[in-house]
A and B are shown apart, each in its own frame.
Chain A
Amino acid sequence: MEEYRQAIILTCVGLYMVMCIWVGLWAMRRTKSAGDFFVAGRGLGPIVVSLAVFSSTLSGFGFVGGPGLVYATGLSSIWMAVCSALGYATGFYLISKRIRMVAEVRDTMSLPDVVFARYGSNAARLLTAGTILLGVLGYLATQILAMALVLQSILSATEALADISLIACVVVSSAVLIFYCVTGGILASVYTDLVQGIVMIVSGALVVVTAASVFDGGFSEVSAILLQRDGEDIMPFGTLGTMASLSWFFLFGLGLAGQPHVATKMMMNRKLSDNRIIMPVAVLGYVVAAMLWISVGVVMRALVLGDVAMPLGAPDEAAPAFLTTYAHPLLAGIVFAGLFAAIMSTADGFLNIGAAAIIHDIPKAIRGRSLDNELFWARTATIGLSVLSAGFALYSFYGSNALVAILGAFGWGTFAAALVPVVVIGLNWKQASARAAIVAIIASLTINLGVQLFGVSIPYAISPGFLAMLTSLILFIGVSLLEKTKPLPKDIDRIMDL
């Protein structure tokens, strides 16, 4: 079977892409309005929503960047994964019910709509939409670049396509993404997320078993090698140390509920009581899929430090190198499809919320109403955003421009710092004010952008996103406490009592 390795991998990836296109066509027939396009008419079942929530959370970063980080720095980055139970608890305790209720009574289509409903402030709505658009542009460009690089690594291993260019890979992978997002909107996105989530769970589970069998002594031998060669890397805080790890725990654990592509999916379930099923399925799905992150990273590090394998050219090669050398060809095929699944499941969510920001939220904040014929413009904006991000990714790659990297790094921290106070606390505390929301968003953007643009180095590798989020939380609560409580609209007031 070994001689068919490349053919098997290509077949798995090809089948996966065909499935995405088929789902796009299927969903197109069910997408008749902007509401269908952006929030699937709030009619999705619990399993679909739970897998969409978890697969959107664990992006290509978890499947490609995660093992690379463990290879490079030991277990420091695992704090981003072990906080997932806290992340989902925060999301479901604090926002899933209220965001779904607000969506129903106000017919909201996006997170900025919810922010407007809660605060009655167009400035807060505009800032939320602007933050989302800024984060989406960077995140999407890095996802498209990652997708194209993975595709190039697969295709260039074949004789016929050995010299395939990165541009061609960007075009092919973006075309599939654009097709199903434009035709089927969020419906295609969540149903592909369903398949993508299953592929990621299967990949995570099978890869752990494979990783455990690379050394005769299993993970105990891996730990013994690492303890002998370094020690700190296999201890809880990795090579980056305690403060870096704990600041990530704060940012990723408490910041998950502020991720707009995750929060938006909490508006889409058919029944409020479905949350009781959605949460545990999402938690378990994430933990199984994230095992790939840990197991591949530690095994590749032990192989290289133990002089069993040659050093990698770059840490991000950890997952592809592991799959190419140690995984059964069929497993490699499934996991490579899983890599695309992880990247696309996040990218499609970003495309959707980015398009909503352009055609719905920003016009509403500026002129009081969204564009006419929203469905047409939603599809147009989706294409435009994808093409812009793909161009942005290529410009960054060939021009060695740091802007995409800056915006990409800016993503999670920006969303968490700007939106956690405004959405997570704001939906659970009546005294929270519009002014506090505006101050918190502006402060978080200033800190995040300032640190990235001026290349500020923070002692102990403390995450800049953590500093921004801590500051915005303190400002948000502090400013609100200083102000007099203003009465809320009746419907929102009653929802916040429930």
Chain B
Amino acid sequence: MKAIHLAFVFLLAIAGITVFVLISEPPTGATGVAHDTIAGMKLGGDGAARLATIGRTPFYFQLGVIGFAATLLYMGVAERRRDGALRVAILTMTAVALFIWYMLYSGYEDYLATGETDVVFGFPVPTNWMFWGIWGSFAIFDLFYVVAFRRYFLPKEDEAEFAALVAELKADEGQH
């Protein structure tokens, strides 16, 4: 299966989940309730009740988004440079992103079930997974870009090939 086909499958899965959400009857206060006295401010209310009709759908939605994003990033490496090591690296980084998403969502579900959460580094644990985990899970891809730049993103041979192409085009222009 080519990367573009995999990306397309992920998109169709995301679309299917989205359609399911759109046709589900939203519970009252699904997007928060206006504060009684403070203008412009919303409260979240009962978080568990807000998910009553769609259940764990948001969890699966984000699995599709992470899968799509990773496939797209894989497509960013020129086809002839895609080797086994690259696939292992992308799969590992994707696994980290999925693990973080699982920790975030399961932590949030625990909070919805018990109403309790620990506060670490100034914020609730699931919120820390969001701040640092979600950002960090793709910062790893950024780091990979820097570290593997000359191997996958701009090898010296490609740079030389591009310089040759520019020179060729300039020579053609000169002839005309």
Residues of A within 8 A of B (CB): 71-75, 78-79, 82-86, 88-90, 92-94, 97, 101, 104-105, 212, 218-220, 222-224, 227, 229-244, 246, 249-250, 253-254, 272-273, 275-276, 279-280, 283, 287, 294, 301, 304-305, 311-315, 424-425, 428-429, 431, 458-462, 467, 470, 473-474, 477-478, 481, 491, 494-498
Within the complex, what minimum Cβ distance (angstroms) separates A237 from chain B? 7
Question: Given known contacts A82-B134, A223-B123, A470-B14, is B44 in contact with A230 (CB within 8 Å)?
Answer: yes
Residues of A within 8 A of B98 (CB): none
Cα distance, A154 to B37, chains bound together (Å)? 28
Cα distance, A73 to B33, chains bound together (Å)? 10
Residues of A within 8 A of B58 (CB): 242-243, 246
Contact at B39–A311, with CB atoms within 8 Å? yes
Contact at B149–A498, with CB atoms within 8 Å? no
Contact at B8–A478, with CB atoms within 8 Å? yes
Contact at B31–A240, with CB atoms within 8 Å? yes
Contact at B159–A467, with CB atoms within 8 Å? no
Residues of B within 8 A of A478 (CB): 8
Q: Which of A304, A461, A473 contacts B11 (CB 8 A)?
A: A473
Residues of B within 8 A of A78 (CB): 130-131
Contact at B142–A280, with CB atoms within 8 Å? yes
Q: Could you show 11 A-B contacts with beta carbons less than 8 Å apart?
A: A82-B130, A90-B76, A92-B142, A93-B72, A104-B166, A219-B123, A220-B122, A235-B127, A249-B134, A425-B72, A481-B4
Q: Which of B40, B119, B134 contacts A314 (CB 8 A)?
A: B40
Residues of A within 8 A of B92 (CB): none
Most chain B CB atoms below 10 A, which of A78, A237, A242, A280: A242
Contact at A85–B139, with CB atoms within 8 Å? yes
Is B85 at the interface (CB under 8 A from chain A)? no
Interface positions of B from 51 to 74, Cβ below 8 Å from A: 51, 54, 58, 61-62, 65, 68-69, 72-73
Q: Kindly report which residue of chain A lies nearest to residue B38, judged by CB atoms.
A: A311
Residues of B within 8 A of A212 (CB): 122
Q: Is the interface of B mostly helix, strand, loop or mixed?
A: helix
Is B12 at the interface (CB under 8 A from chain A)? yes
Is B141 at the interface (CB under 8 A from chain A)? yes
Cα distance, A132 to B162, chains bound together (Å)? 30
Residues of A within 8 A of B91 (CB): none
Contact at A105–B123, with CB atoms within 8 Å? no
Is B96 at the interface (CB under 8 A from chain A)? no
Question: Given known contacts A82-B131, A82-B134, is B32 in contact with A239 (CB within 8 Å)?
Answer: yes
Known: A218-B122, A233-B43. 20 other contacts (CB 8 A): A74-B44, A75-B127, A78-B130, A78-B131, A85-B137, A89-B138, A90-B73, A93-B73, A93-B77, A219-B123, A229-B43, A239-B44, A241-B47, A250-B65, A276-B146, A276-B149, A276-B153, A311-B39, A315-B40, A498-B161
Cα distance, A276 to B146, chains bound together (Å)? 5
Cα distance, A200 to B121, chains bound together (Å)? 24
Residues of A within 8 A of B162 (CB): 101, 272, 495, 498
Cα distance, A85 to B133, chains bound together (Å)? 11
Contact at A241–B72, with CB atoms within 8 Å? no
Cα distance, A279 to B149, chains bound together (Å)? 11
Contact at A236–B130, with CB atoms within 8 Å? yes
Contact at A428–B76, with CB atoms within 8 Å? yes
Q: Kindly report which residue of chain A lies nearest to residue B59, judged by CB atoms.
A: A242
Interface positions of B from 90 to 147, Cβ below 8 Å from A: 104, 108, 111, 115, 117, 119, 121-124, 126-127, 129-131, 134-139, 141-143, 145-146
